[in-house]
Amino acid sequence: MDIELRQLRILTTVAEAGSVAAAAATLGTTPAKLAVRIHRLERMVGAELLTEGPAGTTFTEAGEVLLEHAAVVLPQFDRMLAAARAGGPAPPDRIRIGAVATPILPRLVREIASARPGAELSVLAGEPGADLAGAVTRDELDLVMLRLVTDDDTVDTAAAAALPAAIAWVTLGVEPLVVGIPRGHELGTPDSVPPSALSGHRCVLLDQTVQPLTGALLAACADAGADPRFWYATSEWAALCLGHGAGLPTVTTPPATPMPDTAYRPLRCPAVRSALVLAWSPGGPVAGCAPHVGEVVARAHAEQLRALVTGAGFRRTA
């Protein structure tokens, strides 16, 4: 397996920042996720590269050797790339979009395609929000749609705390978790579902490693004296398929692909809400159109969410 340039850039960022935590802040990710990338590089090299001690982060002998070579390789690559760009025809506009799983993603792509006709679009879907924000600061993505754990009163505070200062953003809306209720289930189709209503029912829930709100939901159930029996899934699609196939309610964010013969109702619990946020680089290719696109997508998102949680849902049989 070959070492990638971005892995060398991570190493040089740690050296420049002085610690993994400071480097994570610079790169727009978390120390834990950056540590995973460093450990992956160490496995590829076959040696420990960093050590943590009272004096902070220090490089091992192997780390110093790799850092020394990175100081040569990275500038050479940057000069090579600049020379190639200067000597050739201008490449077509390219807009790289990243997003969590959400039903509003097709509308976002359509609005960007309309605002930037002729641009080449690519989409990376279903990635964790923190990685998406970091990808903007690393110039790996131009526009991202991500979720932040929040409530109606702290959207701006949560976004300011979670997003790198170098990127611009707008809030598209605040979403509840939704309960997908199969046709004929005992829960029926109420206007909303409190955590207490799940007590005694077997339900499908996303694992905490992929759904930050799962911990808050479990705490809310405990506070309400509810004792649901959860089956866990590691992706939204897996949760939806498991619930639909087994005839069980699912608890997810508004699904990108709602299941047939299923009614979706909001979970009535302020502690399990998230904000859907659109973020981009102020100097990137969508900086001029992103604010307007955000306004259009925010309105469409509100309409889609209203239709999802008020519709009967039993529109076809699989």
Q: Which CATH number fits domain 5-87: 2.60.40.1110, 1.10.510.10, 1.10.10.10, 1.10.3720.10?
A: 1.10.10.10
Q: Please, where are the H alpha helices in 89-167? A: 105-115, 129-137, 155-162
Quick one: pLDDT at residue 209? Answer: 80
Domain edges within the chain? 5-87
| 53-88 confidence digits (pLDDT tens) | 777 788 899 989 888 888 888 888 888 877 777 776
Quick one: pLDDT at residue 317? Answer: 43
- The answer to whether the predicted template modeling score (pTM) of the entire model surpasses 0.95 is no
Between CA 207 and CA 267 the distance in angstroms is 17
Please list the residues that pair with 176 across neighbouring strands.
Answer: 273
Instruction: Of 288, 300, 302, 309, give the one whose Cα is nearest residue 116.
Output: 288
DSSP string, 230-281: EEEESSHHHHHHHHHHHT--EEESSPSSPPTTEEEEEB--GGGEEEEEEEE-
Per DSSP, the chain holds a count of helices (H) and strands (E) of 10, 12
**Phi and psi at residue 22, in whole multiples of 5°?**
-65, -40
Query: Could you tell me the two tokens for 252?
Result: 């997810």
Quick one: pLDDT at residue 202? Answer: 96
| 245-292 confidence digits (pLDDT tens) | 999 999 999 998 999 999 999 999 988 888 999 999 888 899 999 999
Quick one: pLDDT at residue 173? Answer: 92
Instruction: Please say whether the dihedral angle defined by the alpha carbons of residues 101, 253, 178 and 154, taken in this order, is positive or negative.
Output: negative
Contacts of 253 (CB under 8 A, 6+ apart): 100, 101, 102, 147, 175, 177, 178, 211, 213, 236, 274
Q: Over the chain, what is the mean pLDDT?
A: 87
Query: Could you tell me the two tokens for 199?
Result: 């007590």
Whether the pLDDT of residue 90 is over 60: the answer is no
Top mean pLDDT of 88-92, 150-154, 186-190 is at 186-190
Whether the pLDDT of residue 318 is over 50: the answer is no
Contacts of 142 (CB under 8 A, 6+ apart): 95, 96, 97, 136, 280, 281, 284, 285, 286
pLDDT above 70 covers what percent of the chain?
92
| 171-224 confidence digits (pLDDT tens) | 999 999 999 999 999 999 999 999 999 999 999 999 888 788 898 899 999 998
- Please give the single-letter amino acid code of residue 203: C
Instruction: Of 139, 177, 135, 140, give the one whose Cα is nearest residue 276.
Output: 177
Q: What is the mean pLDDT of residues 89-100?
A: 82
Number of neighbouring beta carbons within 10 Å of residue 279: 25
Quick one: pLDDT at residue 294? Answer: 96
